[in-house]
């Protein structure tokens, strides 16, 4: 059976519900959500689950929603007076143990968000994210290598770009990471909101978007590799990274790319 037709429970038998979903109530202010995202973005989940009433999930909020809204309203008022329910994404994907990998990836491609939840035996929900699917890639047997990954345009920025220009690049290209041109350093939505919260005190008395990038941030470093690793090798490597992002030759590889390559019919699963 192609791996794409297997259920998530078959593919993640030992860790199917091991990753807790981090939730936030819909009435919480955006500064609370931002503080939580600083800690959780990319570490083991991609979004916060928005809940109402008795912890009923009604949507998600992540770096995308924060970045989109500060582009239009770069003020402390946005963080202090806007609530989660005013900006969250109502499209939450709730899985079952019978959901196949094909069904999951189809839903993710539609939402452009590598995040879903699944009921667990504690009566709550667990998260299935792009990082979780790296576990599947790590247990695959295939001759598929990095050189065969679909080529995509590398989106980069310049040192003298303003923060507004960088956010605009992210939004226009639907990406969470941008490379600094001719380097292996990158900025991410997590870095942006971390700086907004910690260094610029949620925009209080700061004209943030007009600042030049080089005045404002420390970048993260993508791992450069020269060996044409196979799918299992690159998945294992990225799973161990705090913020997985790899450069091979003239392309960048993220967990999203690993997820999408799992659709290949050249992959066997060993568990």
Q: What is the mean pLDDT of each run of 10 residues along the chain (271 residues)?
A: 89 87 95 86 73 92 92 88 96 94 96 93 90 92 93 90 92 92 90 81 73 74 95 95 90 94 90 65
Which pair of structure tokens corresponds to residue 90?
Answer: 């109502």
Q: What angle do CA 138, 139, 145 make, to 5 degrees?
A: 55
DSSP state letter for 148? G
Q: What is the pLDDT of residue 20?
A: 87
Fold of 3-129: CBS-domain (3.10.580)
Q: What is the pLDDT of residue 208?
A: 72
The domains spanning 3-129 and 141-269 adopt the same CATH topology: yes
Which pair of structure tokens corresponds to residue 30?
Answer: 């955006």
Q: What is the pLDDT of residue 163?
A: 87
Q: What ranges do the domains of the chain cover?
A: 3-129, 141-269
The CATH H-level superfamily of 141-269 is CBS-domain (3.10.580.10)
Count Cα atoms within 13 angstroms, Cβ side, for 195. 21
- Its pTM stands at 0.89
The 3-state DSSP class for residue 203 equals helix
């Amino acid at each position: 059976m192609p791996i794409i037709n297997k259920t998530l429970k078959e593919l993640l038998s030992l860790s199917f519900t091991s990753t807790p979903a981090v939730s936030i109530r819909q009435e919480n202010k955006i500064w609370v959500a931002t503080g939580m995202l600083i800690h959780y973005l990319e570490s083991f989940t991609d979004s916060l689950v928005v809940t109402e009433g008795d912890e009923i999930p009604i949507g998600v909020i992540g770096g995308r929603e924060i970045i989109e809204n500060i582009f239009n309203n770069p003020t402390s008022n946005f963080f202090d007076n806007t609530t989660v329910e005013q900006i969250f994404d109502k499209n939450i994907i709730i899985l079952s143990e019978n959901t196949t990998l094909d069904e999951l990836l189809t839903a993710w491609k539609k939402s452009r968000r590598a995040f879903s939840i699944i009921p667990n035996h504690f009566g709550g929900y667990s998260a299935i994210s792009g990082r979780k699917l790296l576990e599947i890639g790590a247990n695959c047997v295939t001759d598929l290598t990095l050189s065969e990954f679909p080529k995509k345009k590398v989106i980069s920025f310049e040192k003298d770009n303003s923060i507004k220009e960088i956010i605009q690049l992210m939004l226009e290209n639907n990406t969470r990471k941008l490379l600094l041109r001719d380097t292996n350093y990158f900025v991410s939505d997590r870095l942006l909101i971390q700086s907004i919260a910690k260094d610029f005190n949620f925009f209080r008395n700061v004209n943030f978007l007009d600042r030049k990038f080089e005045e404002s941030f420390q970048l993260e470093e993508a791992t450069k590799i020269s060996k044409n690793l196979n799918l299992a090798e690159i998945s294992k490597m990225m799973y161990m990274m705090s913020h997985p992002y790899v450069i091979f030759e003239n392309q960048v590889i993220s967990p999203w790319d690993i997820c999408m390559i799992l659709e290949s019919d050249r992959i066997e699963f060993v568990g």
